[in-house]
């Protein structure tokens, strides 16, 4: 009798993985390898071949941006809105609602704090989920930065858009209703709230298809090539620790890359 075929589990991914992959697939690999190092004492495997040809731009095309709306000022919250989820792992989130309008969903009151999409092998934690009077939900991702500081440098804000789209999918799976949109809330902490604002990121068929495609692309990518570009590399955490051999630039206080010797033939 033939043994049943076993289907390998899909690679687990998070919204953060997608954002990192979009910036530089090799950064995603190094970030995971270093995560393993912190948890187990051993640097995790890095699939990027030593003779890889670096890319000039991200291999992932950007999500649809045509219907995205940018708003200055405070996020529109209504009297009947309720906070049904808040990431317990974040200590510095603003208080959006008074306590009487906080109704954390029972799914998250017994130490579960991650939204899991088992079908797509995807999980993550938005900063907030809000339920509106009509029973619809939407995620909010909070950023401490000024809304318009470089807003039109799509490079930076695209990452926030990707996160919002990914979180919409997690909310859809968790609460059983597809959000019409996700919000990125810019708190402008450094500016004392002077330039607060928020971006409404639609979540329609086009965005959902983009997300499904993006997850498949990441999983099928056996190379995880570097995308060396100064704007990426100076803020790349593995680079700051001296783990990237392809960096276009290094942070001024970055670690000497020749000081490491990784496993599996991988050397930074
Ligand atoms: S330093 Fe640059 S090329 Fe290297 S992993 Fe980071 S972003 Fe990619």
9 located within any domain: no
Rounded CA separation 67/134 (Å): 22
Q: Is there an atom of ligand 1 within 6 Å of 246 CB?
A: yes
- Domain co-membership, 120 together with 233: no
Question: H helices of the chain, where?
Answer: 15-23, 25-40, 154-175, 205-220, 230-233, 237-240
From the CA of 208, how far away is ligand 1's center (Å)? 28
63 located within any domain: no
1 located within any domain: no
267 located within any domain: no
Rounded CA separation 258/23 (Å): 24
Number of H helices, E strands in the chain: 6, 8
- Domain co-membership, 158 together with 248: no
Q: What is the number of alpha carbons within 13 Å of residue 84 lying toward its C-beta? A: 20
- Domain co-membership, 133 together with 92: yes
In which residue are the tokens 């099928």 written? 220
Q: Is there an atom of ligand 1 within 6 Å of 199 CB?
A: no
- Domain co-membership, 238 together with 213: no
pLDDT truncated to tens, each residue of the chain (268 aa)?
A: 555 556 567 889 999 999 999 999 999 999 999 999 999 999 999 999 999 999 999 999 999 888 888 888 889 899 999 999 999 888 889 899 999 999 999 988 766 789 999 999 999 999 999 999 999 999 999 988 776 655 555 555 788 999 999 999 999 999 999 999 999 998 877 766 677 889 999 999 999 999 999 999 999 999 999 999 998 899 899 999 999 999 998 877 766 666 655 443 455 5
- Domain co-membership, 34 together with 84: no
- Domain co-membership, 210 together with 246: no
Phi then psi for residue 60, to 5 deg, are: -105, 125
From the CA of 55, how far away is ligand 1's center (Å)? 11
* pLDDT recorded at residue 64: 87
- Contact in structure between 102 and 82 (CB atoms under 8 Å): yes
Helix (H, G, I), strand (E, B) or coil at 253: coil
- Domain co-membership, 53 together with 163: no
Using the 3D structure, point to which of 217, 236, 251 is the last residue of a domain: 217
129 located within any domain: yes
Q: Is there an atom of ligand 1 within 6 Å of 240 CB?
A: no
Residues β-bridged to residue 72:
197
Going by their DSSP bridges, the two strands 69-72 and 197-202 should be labelled as antiparallel
**Which of the listed residues 221, 226, 234, 251 should we mutate to test ligand 1's pocket, taking the one with most ligand atoms within 8 A of CB?**
226
For residue 69, give the H/E element and its range.
strand 69-72
- Domain co-membership, 74 together with 191: yes
- Domain co-membership, 112 together with 243: no
177 located within any domain: yes
**Six token digits for residue 63:** 């999500």
Rounded CA separation 68/87 (Å): 25
Look up the domain containing 103 and give its range. 69-217
Q: Is there an atom of ligand 1 within 6 Å of 233 CB?
A: yes
Q: Is there an atom of ligand 1 within 6 Å of 31 CB?
A: no
- Domain co-membership, 83 together with 210: yes
Helix (H, G, I), strand (E, B) or coil at 131: strand
164 located within any domain: yes
How many domains, the chain?
Answer: 2
From the CA of 245, how far away is ligand 1's center (Å)? 8
Buried b or exposed e, range 11-39, using 16+ CB within 10 angstroms = eebbbbbbbbbbbbbbbbbbbbbbeebee
- Domain co-membership, 50 together with 95: no
Rounded CA separation 216/210 (Å): 10
- Domain co-membership, 54 together with 179: no
Q: Is there an atom of ligand 1 within 6 Å of 24 CB?
A: yes
6 located within any domain: no
**CB proximity list for 10: less than 8 A, separation 6 or greater:** 120, 121, 219
Q: Which residue's C-alpha comes closest to atom 2 of ligand 1?
A: 233
């Amino acid at each position: 009798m033939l043994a049943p075929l076993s289907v390998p589990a899909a690679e687990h991914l998070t919204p953060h993985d997608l954002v990192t992959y979009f910036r530089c697939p090799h950064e995603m690999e190094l970030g995971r390898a270093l995560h393993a190092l912190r948890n187990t004492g051993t640097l995790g495997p890095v699939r990027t071949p030593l003779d890889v040809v670096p890319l000039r731009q991200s291999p992932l095309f950007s999500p649809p941006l045509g219907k995205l709306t940018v708003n200055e000022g405070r996020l529109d919250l209504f009297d009947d809105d309720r906070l049904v989820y808040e990431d317990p792992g974040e200590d510095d989130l603003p208080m959006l609602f008074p306590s009487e309008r906080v109704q954390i969903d029972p799914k998250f009151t017994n130490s579960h704090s991650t939204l899991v999409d088992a079908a797509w092998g995807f999980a993550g934690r938005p900063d907030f989920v809000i339920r509106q009077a009509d029973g619809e939900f939407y995620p909010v991702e909070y950023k401490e930065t000024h809304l318009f500081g470089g807003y039109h440098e799509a490079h930076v804000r695209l990452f926030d858009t990707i996160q919002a789209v990914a979180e919409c999918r997690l909310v859809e799976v968790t609460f059983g209703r597809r959000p019409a949109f996700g919000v990125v809330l810019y708190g402008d902490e450094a500016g004392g709230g002077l330039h607060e604002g928020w971006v409404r990121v639609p979540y329609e068929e086009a965005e959902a298809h983009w997300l499904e495609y993006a997850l498949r692309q990441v999983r099928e990518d056996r190379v995880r090539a570097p995308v060396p570009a100064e704007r990426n590399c100076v803020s790349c955490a593995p680079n700051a620790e001296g783990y990237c051999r392809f960096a276009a630039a290094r942070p001024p206080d970055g670690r000497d890359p020749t000081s490491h010797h990784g496993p599996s033939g991988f050397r930074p």
